[in-house]
Structure 1
Amino acid sequence: MFAVIFANGILDPSAELDSLIDQAELIIAADGGANHCNRLGITPDILLGDLDSIDPPLLAAYQDKAIAIHRHPRHKDATDLELALDLAVEQGARAIRLIGALGGRWDMSLANIMLAASDKYKNQEILLSGQDCSMQILHPGRDCTLSGRPGQKVSLVPLKGDVHGVTLTGFAYPLTGQTILFGSSLGVSNIMHTDQATVQHREGILLCVLFSE
């Protein structure tokens, strides 16, 4: 199942979401993410969260439409986005796109990236859409093929420790079985050499950032 989750971060107004929404089998609005849905003319399948960020008239409209609402207490041990991810996994989602999970508060953006890299989502393919880039969490043993154009910038950042056995093909700066140390800038600002480029690694977790420009 392919799920799309709208969070309450910054939404790229130039993003082409029509095809993405058409493919989605489940759309979840995490609290204020519902405001993005409303501006885009999208009705989510589920509204979830403590509901302190959604516009009150919109909440009332959703209640009138009998949209499924999962209300959580304001004082809780997880963010609305984490609750939404957990629900998507419970519903059977294997591929998840996070919209509006980046931008605004730095702490929230960083927490959302680390959340997506959590071990409890290791069986899911999670991609975060930002204003000028998309970010994908890469787990070991799964080849990742990026589609883009020559000259497009890509950065690979280790999360949670060193990443071993990194092989990059189709890049201006290829690697073969190399280790990218945690905290190293080795993987920053690579460039796609062809329309498709492949990232492989044997151990560790990588954050792959594909820039729009």
Structure 2
Amino acid sequence: MNILIISGGTPPSRELLKKEVEKSDYIICADSGANCLYKNDICPDMLLGDFDSIKSETLEAFKKSNCKITTFPAEKDFTDSEMAIEEAINLGGDNLTFLGFTGTRIDHMLGNLGLLNKCLNKNVKAVMKDDNNEIYIYDKSFKIKGENKSIFSLQAYCDEVKNLTIQGGKYPLVNYNLKLGDSRTISNEFLNEEVSITFSSGKLLAILSKD
């Protein structure tokens, strides 16, 4: 089940939002993430949060719709985004897309990377997207696709990534141990449409970027 989750970071463009809405089976909004849906005349299936940042006109409009609304206290041990992901998984979502999960708040951004990791630990596919990036996390070898000369970057997530090999990139790598903060794997390029990435242990962030 494809579930789109929209949070309150930098809102996606209309084009990106429409594209992801069309691919989704269910839409969940976390608090002010609903504002961009309201602006684009899209009603979510579920709206949740403490509603400290959503516009009043947005909330009132969705209260009059068939949208399921769940309110949480402002003081809680989880973010609205985390609860939205929990709800998505409980609904049977096995392919999640996050929009509005990046922006000016670096603390939220780091926490949201942790939510990608949480999905990985539960064997749920997830990707964080904005108009310039797609972010994935892996704990086993994988392949990524992109246009020729488009950019991809890799970063170790928490653990050291051992025996990292990159095939099909402009800058190949063989059996390299990548540690957190190592910049060697930043701004690589696709030579063709597919890059193969293998490693024996650790967790790896893969970021497809464009300016």
Quickly name the TM-score band, shorter chain normalised: over 0.9
- 1:51 is aligned to 2:51: yes
CA contact (8 A) 1:122 1:139 kept: no
Write the distance in 1 (CA, Å) between the matches of 2:111 and 2:12.
Answer: 20
1:203 partner amino acid: S
TM alignment of 1:45-194, pairs within 5 A: 45-118=45-118, 121-140=121-140, 142-143=141-142, 145-194=143-192
Deviation track 1:79-98 (CA, whole Å, cap 9, x = no partner) reads: 00000011111111111110
SS of residue in 1 equivalent to 2:202? strand
CA distance 1:14–1:172, shift in 2 (3 Å): farther
Runs of 4+ in 1 over 6 A off after TM superposition: none
Q: Establish whether residue 202 from structure 1 lines up as the match of residue 200 from structure 2.
A: yes
User: Which runs of no fewer than 5 residues in structure 2 stay unpaired?
Assistant: none
Rate the CA distance shift 1:122–1:15 in 2: closer, same or farther, 3 A: farther
Structure 1 stretch displaced more, 102-111 or 69-78:
102-111
Partner AA of 2:97 in structure 1: R
Q: Do the aligned partners of 1:133 and 1:209 also contact (CA within 8 Å) in 2?
A: yes
What secondary structure sits across from 2:158 in the alignment?
Answer: strand
TM-score by length of 2: 0.92
Distance 1:46 1:92 in 2: 14
Q: 2:11 touches 2:33 (CA, 8 Å); kept in 1?
A: no
Per-residue CA shift, 1:108-144, capped at 9, x if unaligned? 112111222137744111111123111111222x52x
- Structure 1 residues 174 and 122, CA, compared in 2 at 3 Å: closer, same or farther? farther
Aligned partners of 1:158 and 1:183 also within 8 Å: yes
CA distance in 2, matches of 1:118, 1:67: 26
- TM-score, scaled relative to structure 1: 0.91
Q: Percent identity?
A: 28
Give unpaired runs (5+ residues) of structure 1: none
